[in-house]
């Protein structure tokens, strides 16, 4: 058995466990399970929101969501009920919100990330987001610079795109997820992380032009040559909403203003 086959088997077993726990929690079967990986970036730090090029690749750590759309006769049919096993102590953390009442700052903590994508989807013309139930699990370490928050957002928005039949493309979903981070969560992120999660492929890195979101998969056959990329956790906490990331983006905006050029992208 190859390493890729072993990983696929592990993820299938993980999806089955998540489904069983969803049934135990909500009393019925989810409509499906969706998965979105974290990412590592090889080239292009802080260039995604400056209209540059990046070269990330998706990793084998991923967020996974089991989702069921509520029916009209369900109690609280217009609310979203979320539970996560992502808590450090392994217990379920729960969040609920009414979709029509969503506004920036109305949901905090881990729940802000799925709530953010619901907020931007519900704001699109002609889209009615019904109530739903979610059970989230993730193996992407929090605060380690591997895009744990974007993995949660991407898994959620891909699930809703499929279940509601919206037909949104990967670039569309990437831009909407960026808006969720910028407008709802309050994190001044660029477009790279969610694009890597949405468009990354096994055995390759994603070359992405952040001006247009045109992309191509660049072969990265590490396993074929017995190679690995070693990612080391420095134990330094990482946050997009505050700290060094926000400060770096602000300095880029000041530099663009001083040079008289277009500032960092606000896709």
Strands (DSSP E) along the chain, which ranges? 32-43, 53-69, 79-84, 93-98, 132-138, 204-209, 214-219
Gyration radius of the chain's alpha carbons = 19
**Which one of the listed residues 128, 193, 209, 233 is annotated catalytic?**
193
The answer to whether the beta carbons of residues 64 and 137 sit under 8 Å apart is yes
The answer to whether the beta carbons of residues 63 and 152 sit under 8 Å apart is yes
- Backbone φ and ψ of 49, nearest 5°: -90, 5
Active site residue 209: no
Structure-token match 């909500």, residue found: 26
Q: Distance between CA atoms of 59 and 61, rounded to whole angstroms?
A: 6
- Backbone φ and ψ of 120, nearest 5°: -75, -35
Active site residues: 193
């Amino acid at each position: 058995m190859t390493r890729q086959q072993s990983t696929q088997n592990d993820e299938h077993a993980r999806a089955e466990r998540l489904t069983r726990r969803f049934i135990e929690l909500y009393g019925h079967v989810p409509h499906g399970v969706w998965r979105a990986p974290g990412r590592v970036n090889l080239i292009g730090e802080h260039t995604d929101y400056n209209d540059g090029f990046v070269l990330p690749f998706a990793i084998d750590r991923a967020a996974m969501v089991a989702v069921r759309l509520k029916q009209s006769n369900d109690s609280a049919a217009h609310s979203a009920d979320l539970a996560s096993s992502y808590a450090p102590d392994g217990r379920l953390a729960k969040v609920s919100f009414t979709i029509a009442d969503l506004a920036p700052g109305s949901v905090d903590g881990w729940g802000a990330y799925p709530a953010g994508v619901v907020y931007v989807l519900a704001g699109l013309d002609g889209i009615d987001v019904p109530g739903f139930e979610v059970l989230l699990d993730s193996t992407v370490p929090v605060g380690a610079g591997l895009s744990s928050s974007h993995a949660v957002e991407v898994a959620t928005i891909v699930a809703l795109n499929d279940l509601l039949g919206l037909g949104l493309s990967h670039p569309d979903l990437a831009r909407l997820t960026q808006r969720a981070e910028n407008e709802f969560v309050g994190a001044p992120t660029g477009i790279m992380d969610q694009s890597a999660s949405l468009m990354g492929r096994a055995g390759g890195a994603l070359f992405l032009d952040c001006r247009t979101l045109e992309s191509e998969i660049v072969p990265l056959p590490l396993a074929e040559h017995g190679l690995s990329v070693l990612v080391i956790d420095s134990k330094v906490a990482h946050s997009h909403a505050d700290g060094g990331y926000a400060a770096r983006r602000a300095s880029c905006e000041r530099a663009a203003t001083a040079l008289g050029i277009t500032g960092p992208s606000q896709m």
